[in-house]
């Protein structure tokens, strides 16, 4: 039983069912916060490293993209499973991120030598 007195809530210690329900609720909320943090980190790496030139950032982008594109839901921290728990549509998120990536890279040349500072000088260009 719950007793209220001056906005404080007192729980009857004999009511173990109520305590168990509260414990499960708190545990579930904690797991969902952790899953949301994992999802946020992956999306952050995906977006921040999409145009990366250094090895470490390229690896972070590749890991995030592979995780997001993986359709396996057996693992508790898979993209699919996290989306399921958080009641998000994984395909909708994937499509949005892939469209964003394409738009971001569209304006960026694939050839690094496009930038004048990176071009080698030749006799013809002098």
What residue segments make up the domains of the chain, in order of their start? 2-103
Q: What is the mean pLDDT of residues 102-125?
A: 55
Q: Is the pLDDT of residue 31 over 70?
A: yes
Q: What is the mean pLDDT of residues 42-53?
A: 96
Contact 68, 97 (CB under 8 A): yes
What's the rounded Cα separation, in Å, for the pair 87 and 11?
32
- pLDDT category of residue 28 using cuts at 50, 70 and 90: confident
- pLDDT category of residue 108 using cuts at 50, 70 and 90: low
Q: What is the dihedral of CA 102, 110, 70, 66, to 10 degrees?
A: -130
Contact 79, 90 (CB under 8 A): yes
């Amino acid at each position: 039983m719950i007793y209220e007195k001056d906005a404080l809530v007192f729980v009857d210690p004999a009511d173990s069912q109520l305590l168990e329900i509260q414990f499960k609720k708190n545990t579930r909320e904690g797991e969902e916060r952790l899953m949301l943090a994992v999802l946020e980190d992956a999306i952050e790496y995906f977006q921040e490293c999409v145009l990366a030139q250094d090895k470490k950032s390229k690896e972070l982008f590749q890991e995030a993209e592979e995780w997001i594109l993986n359709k396996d839901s057996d693992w508790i921290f898979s993209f699919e499973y996290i989306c399921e728990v958080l009641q998000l549509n994984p395909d909708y998120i994937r499509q949005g991120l892939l469209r964003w990536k394409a738009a971001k890279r569209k304006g960026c040349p694939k050839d690094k030598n496009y930038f004048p500072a990176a071009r080698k000088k030749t006799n013809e260009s002098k």
